[in-house]
Amino acid sequence: MKFIRNAFKKLKKNIKNKIYTIKKDHLIREYFKNNVLFVVFVAVCVLNSTMLRFLCMHTVENFLSWKAILADTIVVSTVGAFGYYIKPKDRFAYYFGFCIFFTAICMINSVYYTFYTSFASISMLSLTQYIGDVGDAVVENVLQLKDLVYLIGPIIMLVVHFKLKKKNYYKKVELKSERKKKALHTLTASAFLLAIFLITLSSLDISRFFKQWNKEYIVMRFGIYVYQANDLVASVQPKVNSMFGYDKASKEFNEYFADAKDSYETNEYTNIFEGKNIIAIHAESMMTNVMDLKFNDLEVTPNLNRLASEGMFFNNFYSQVSVGTSSDSELTYNTSLMPTKSGTAFVSYSNRKYIGIPSLLNEKGYYTFSMHANNADFWNRRTMHKNLGYQRFYSKTDYEVKKENVIGLGLSDKEFFKQSIDKIEKINAENDKWYGLLIMLSNHTPFSEVDKYGEFPVDIKETITKEDGTTEEVVYPYMEGTKLGNYFKSIHYADSALGEFIEGLDEKGLLENTVIVLYGDHDARLPRKNYDRLYNYDKETDSVMEEDNPEYKEYDSYQYELGRKVPFIIWTKDMHGTKLNFTNSNVMGMYDVVPTLGNMFGFHNKYILGHDIFDIKENNIVCFPNGNWVNNKLYYNSQKAAYLPLTEEEISEEEIAQNTEYTNKLLDVSNNIIVFDLLNEEKNNKLREVGTEK
């Protein structure tokens, strides 16, 4: 009896489900029937953008990226919703127009990606030479089937259109209120999808979206249409910024540099390296405080330490980066200008005039080049390196990148240096004097590929003698398994790559007439709490000491800021033991590099913000993009309007106020130089002429 009742219940449930499904199917079918144009429009545009991603980026992450599909759907359906305001007879033109527009975006990016392994940017179209390049590229590439595949979207739309026409679909009468209702319903649905999309965004997604340089990531997470809109805003922003305040900016600029001289003050380092080749090493996330560290008596950075002890070592040197990290570091190193207040100079202001070290060396007959085995468009380097004066930029496509040689973002530093030596050897054979910047990559956050860094335990090993006279080795985990510990392993790897590079250069005789210049580009960007365990490890309990422990060393926000120093080293093979072999402890910033090196190599730039360290000596000041500053006497925090004294010396309030004012002025002038393109004499002369005509 019970069995029959159950069977009956089951049957009833099945019928109910069936009816519900039929109803649902019916509803969906009805919706499709009435909105076929909109549905096909959304489907083909989303399909195109999905195809673009799949054909360009062959990573699992990309294939699984439903967020991009969602974002594309939101964009296209929002655009599509407005189509409902149009009468049915004219609606096709609207959808077809936008379909062509979205298809064009996909096709342009598809072509661009083939050539540059990156996605297109509207801002670059303003550079005429870029249009030339892309123009050629399009012509050469036009026959590639994969770029034409997107035409399938408009073709499908046309087929659907003719079918609908036959069925008199466009003759349907739709009341205005009905059309409005449809539009609003569709917009509501898009808004609902948008809410879901926003909830799922991670902080990394958001930060990369605003920083805008990691184009592949943005396309992978936000889809090509959002990427292109974001890119449009980024391209327009600098124009808006530079529309107002030119006169004031230009006046302040002229006042600021009114007394600037056409040559540096001479000192004992003037022209000491004139005519020598230069290899500058941009050491990713290399920090000075690591140089003092040892684990089980082994130095974390033995090679860096050797260079520092044999050459000129500036151990109180700061990088002055903002959100543009590596690129900001390159900007300041090359031009002595500070990062911009909004956006980044490399991405948002790449069409401004810059006076870079390479262009100054070009004038002196040097051949100049840069090398970085990453995608050339990262941080917009392809454009900016040319702008700074590098005659040749060797990027990822110039290197052989085998899968087994990849660490983190790309080719491992060891392999990068190895392959670079061959290129430098050739350059050396073909050129009289040369200057190259080599940008390292492996020691990059999140420092998680520990198995690739090689053996370097960051634990504490102790040998204990027991009562019976036998010995035993005890291991305390210490920094093992921590983020900072992994950073030490990573930096140890980078250091050993550096060692191999120097050795390799020497073997080829490339160090004979060459000066090595090395700078850390910025700190490891690890939160302050990571340092607690390093300085306050209690091995007995394998934990961090309590703050009330008398041995507890507080690593406060000032210690953290001071700890962000990066190494700056100038080294030659034969410097050791000479009067050029010393450590300079005066505070120094990345913006002091141009004048300091300029004095040694004999190149000069009038529009610099830093000083020759051998000229300004202990009176130097390093300003940071956030308004903080540091000199030999104190570190000043502008947000808190508080400071940490660094010496016993009395400091007057007046002196602090003066330095703060100096910092603000310097940041303003620097920002104006970039935003208003004030180094572009031709442009400024024209503007001045227009001004006087008025």
Give the footprint of ligand GP9 on this chain (CB under 6 A). Answer: 325-326, 374, 378, 409, 439, 441, 444
Task: Tell the smallest beta-carbon distance from residue 170 to Mn ion (Å).
Answer: 57
Query: What burial class does residue 25 get, using C-beta atoms within 10 Å of its C-beta: 0-12 exposed, 13-18 middle, 19+ buried?
Result: exposed
Residue 378 touches which member of ligand GP9, Mn ion, none, C-beta under 5-8 Å by kind: ligand GP9
- Residue from the set 413, 521, 561, 612 that interacts with Mn ion by CB under 5 A: 521
Task: Tell the smallest beta-carbon distance from residue 280 to Mn ion (Å).
Answer: 14
Of 382 and 444, the one with the shorter C-beta distance to ligand GP9 is 444
Task: Tell the smallest beta-carbon distance from residue 395 to ligand GP9 (Å).
Answer: 9
Residue 591 touches which member of Mn ion, ligand GP9, none, C-beta under 5-8 Å by kind: none
CA distances for 158 relative to 47, 161, 484, 684, angstroms? 16, 5, 59, 51
Residue 596 touches which member of ligand GP9, Mn ion, none, C-beta under 5-8 Å by kind: none
What whole-number distance in Å separates Cα of residue 100 and Cα of residue 118? Answer: 22
What whole-number distance in Å separates Cα of residue 288 and Cα of residue 149? Answer: 52
DSSP class of residue 342 equals: S
Of 413 and 521, the one with the shorter C-beta distance to Mn ion is 521
Could you tell me which residues are beta bridge partners of residue 299? 294
Of 256 and 346, the one with the shorter C-beta distance to ligand GP9 is 346
Task: Tell the smallest beta-carbon distance from residue 640 to ligand GP9 (Å).
Answer: 27
Of 409 and 656, the one with the shorter C-beta distance to ligand GP9 is 409
Give the orientation angle of helix 215-241 with respect to helix 203-211, to 10 degrees. 50
φ, ψ at 220 (rounded to 5°) = -70, -35
Stretch in the footprint of Mn ion (CB under 5 A) among 201-209, 262-270, 278-286, 651-659:
278-286
Task: Tell the smallest beta-carbon distance from residue 26 to ligand GP9 (Å).
Answer: 54
Asked whether position 490 contacts Mn ion by CB under 5 A, the answer is no
Task: Tell the smallest beta-carbon distance from residue 328 to ligand GP9 (Å).
Answer: 8
Which residue is associated with the tokens 């120097």? Answer: 502
* Residues 545-604 within binding reach of Mn ion (CB under 5 A): none
Residue 450 touches which member of Mn ion, ligand GP9, none, C-beta under 5-8 Å by kind: none
* Residues 293-332 within binding reach of Mn ion (CB under 5 A): 325-326
Of 362 and 445, the one with the shorter C-beta distance to ligand GP9 is 445
Stretch in the footprint of Mn ion (CB under 5 A) among 24-32, 254-262, 281-289, 417-425:
281-289
Of 374 and 670, the one with the shorter C-beta distance to ligand GP9 is 374
- Check if the beta carbon of residue 614 is closer than 8 Å to that of residue 269: yes
Of 81 and 497, the one with the shorter C-beta distance to ligand GP9 is 497
Of 283 and 678, the one with the shorter C-beta distance to ligand GP9 is 283
Task: Tell the smallest beta-carbon distance from residue 393 to ligand GP9 (Å).
Answer: 12
Neighbours of 243 (CB within 10 A): 10
Of 325 and 336, the one with the shorter C-beta distance to ligand GP9 is 325
Task: Tell the smallest beta-carbon distance from residue 37 to ligand GP9 (Å).
Answer: 44
Give the dihedral of Cα atoms 115, 121, 126, 130; nearest 10 deg.
-10
Tell me how long the chain is.
Answer: 694
CA distances for 374 relative to 145, 289, 371, 401, 516, angstroms? 27, 27, 9, 10, 22
Strand 582-584 vs strand 312-314: parallel, antiparallel, or unpaired?
parallel
With CB atoms as reference, the residue minimizing the distance to Mn ion is 326
Query: What burial class does residue 692 get, using C-beta atoms within 10 Å of its C-beta: 0-12 exposed, 13-18 middle, 19+ buried?
Result: exposed
Residue 387 touches which member of Mn ion, ligand GP9, none, C-beta under 5-8 Å by kind: none
From 314, 283, 521, 528, select the one nearest 416 (Cα to Cα). Answer: 283
Task: Tell the smallest beta-carbon distance from residue 440 to ligand GP9 (Å).
Answer: 8
**Both tokens assigned to 466:** 């027991």
- Check if the beta carbon of residue 409 is closer than 8 Å to that of residue 441: yes
Strand 537-538 vs strand 543-544: parallel, antiparallel, or unpaired?
antiparallel
DSSP class of residue 323 equals: T
Task: Tell the smallest beta-carbon distance from residue 548 to Mn ion (Å).
Answer: 38
Of 153 and 410, the one with the shorter C-beta distance to ligand GP9 is 410
DSSP alpha helix (H) spans, 57-168: 60-63, 66-82, 88-116, 122-125, 128-141, 145-148, 152-166
Residue 76 touches which member of ligand GP9, Mn ion, none, C-beta under 5-8 Å by kind: none
Residue 374 touches which member of ligand GP9, Mn ion, none, C-beta under 5-8 Å by kind: ligand GP9
What whole-number distance in Å separates Cα of residue 514 and Cα of residue 435? Answer: 9
Of 72 and 284, the one with the shorter C-beta distance to Mn ion is 284
Task: Tell the smallest beta-carbon distance from residue 607 to ligand GP9 (Å).
Answer: 25
Contacts with Mn ion by CB under 5 A lie at 284, 325-326, 521
